[in-house]
Structure 1
Amino acid sequence: MLQHDAESAVARYLTAADRLLPGKITGFYVVGSAALGAWRPGRRDIDLIAVVDGGIGDREARRLRGHWRDRAEKSLSRRPPSKPLVPAHRVAVNRVLGPPRLHCTIATGQVITKESAAEYALDTFAARWHPLIRTALAHRTGEPEPGDSPEPGELPRMAGEFILELIADANRP
């Protein structure tokens, strides 16, 4: 049985997935810590697997890229996204490791953890992103932030720029 907060979040994700891929989702499964009753709000994300009917074509792929691009561009705005009691820089840091995880799957076919996505991103993307990636990894694992962590006010902009660069790179043949 899912925790109430997790159940609400899963319902929101499914609604978003149905909007992005109308009529394509045939299965939606909660896996990982949430499925095992170990999910912690604000500390862990919820891992989901969506099963799609007939695969994803160019149109659906464009829609998904647009979703991530919109999230990145909001981070670049004067009022980056925040959540009740969660400042914008924390929201931004929480979004940094998902896109490299997806990039790795696109590039290699492998499905990896967000911790592994940090290592992948450090190996794959320019050194200018490394402080952001290391900060996101420290936040995820509960370790102290590294000495080269960007200032909190810079994190939303940096996260947005990083995600846009990943989208552009994933679009290259």
Structure 2
Amino acid sequence: MTRLGEIPARSCASYLELADRHAPGLVEGLYLQGSVALGDFTPGASDIDFVAVVAEPFDPAPLRAVHAELKARHPKPHFDGLYVTWDDLREDPERSPAGVSVHEWRVRESSRFERHLVTWHVLAQGGVAVRGPEVETLGVHTDWAALAEGTRANLATYWTRWLERSSRPATWMGMAALSDYQTTWGVLGVTRLHHTLASGRVTSKTAAGAYALAAFGERWHRIVREAVRIRTGGPALYRSPFRRRADMLAYMSMVLNTRPMVRE
């Protein structure tokens, strides 16, 4: 439990106690991916991302009580994740059907939430076993070429559209881009994908910030440090949210138009 840290360990212990009470024998394995697996869990900023393993398809009804009671005990951070079988982990998640997931305490019976290659790669890279065999023994499916292709597509579609919409100052997206949340989401979001392509592995937001300071010129250091500062705390580096928005948009445009040295 040392690697988990106090907050994830507490939530996991409560979750397993509730799962075993409401659905005895259902959860055979519990693994953490996301920020915990990447060594970047930040209290107040990070959610707990889990993968629960079951033996076979099941009735998800008892899970509503599990996650409702878990929320009552530990409302923050969110305990988000999905339910899979052992065989699911050995298969390409992009080809598997939708399944049971939990997002912001809502149990969904048929969802694609987190059921993608990024989750499988993070789990394989550094997933933390809370219950069940060590991750290295699970044979988790990975496919770097497909993940890299999907990452490039994400930059070209979602993030390019996000930048375009946030660049219209009089719109809702343009106004939202003045906020702390959107600043760190935008700056570290595109940087993380750029860094993932350059490094050949899924990387964390904090690691992406360090990468940006090393890879990009000093012109961009202020906005990168501000994005990291929003996650980790400290005095603001901007007095004007309008100046910060301008720097964020310019930085994101630069990253989206800079081709990373891709490790194939």
- TM-score over 0.5 (shorter chain): yes
Matched, 1:115 2:206: yes
| In structure 2, distance between residues paired with 1:87 and 1:68 | 13
Aligned to 1:17: none
- Structure 1, unpaired ranges of 5+: 1-28, 41-45
Contact 2:192 2:203 in 1 (8 A): yes
Q: Which runs of 5+ in 2 are unaligned?
A: 1-31, 36-46, 51-73, 79-103, 105-113, 119-141
- CA change 1:77–1:51 in 2 (3 A) is same
Question: Displacement, 1:143?
Answer: 2.0
Question: Matched residues in 2 for 1:49 and 1:77: separation?
Answer: 33
Q: Of the candidates 34, 50, 53, which is equivalent to residue 116 of structure 2?
A: 50
Counting only pairs closer than 5 Å after superposition, residues 81-92 of structure 1 correspond to structure 2 as 81=173, 88-92=178-182
CA RMSD, aligned part only? 3.6
Task: State the one-letter code of the partner of 1:163.
Answer: M
SS in 2 for 1:139: helix
Deviation at 1:112, TM superposition (A): 2.0
Is this contact kept in 2: 1:118–1:134, CA < 8 A? yes
Alignment of 1:8-157 (within 5 A): 31-32=34-35, 33-35=47-49, 39=77, 48=114, 50-51=116-117, 55=146, 61-62=152-153, 64-79=155-170, 81=173, 88-95=178-185, 96-146=187-237, 149=238, 151-157=240-246
Paired with 1:60 and 1:118, the residues of 2 have a C-alpha distance of: 18
Deviation for aligned residue 1:92: 3.3
- How far apart are residue 59 of structure 1 and its match? 9.0
Q: Which has the higher helix share?
A: 1
The 3 A distance-change label for structure 1 pair 103 and 113 is same
Q: How many residues align?
A: 136
Q: Distance in 2 between matches of 1:39 and 1:126?
A: 35
The alpha carbon displacement at 1:138 in A equals: 0.8
Per residue, is there more strand in 1 or in 2? Answer: 2
TM-score by length of 2: 0.42
Separation in structure 1 between the aligned mates of residue 216 and residue 243 of structure 2, nearest angstrom: 19
Of structures 1 and 2, the larger Rg is shown by 2
Cα distance in 2 for partners of 1:57, 1:128 equals 28
One-letter amino acid matched to 2:49:
A
- Quick one: which amino acid aligns to residue 221 of structure 2? H
Percent sequence identity over aligned pairs = 23
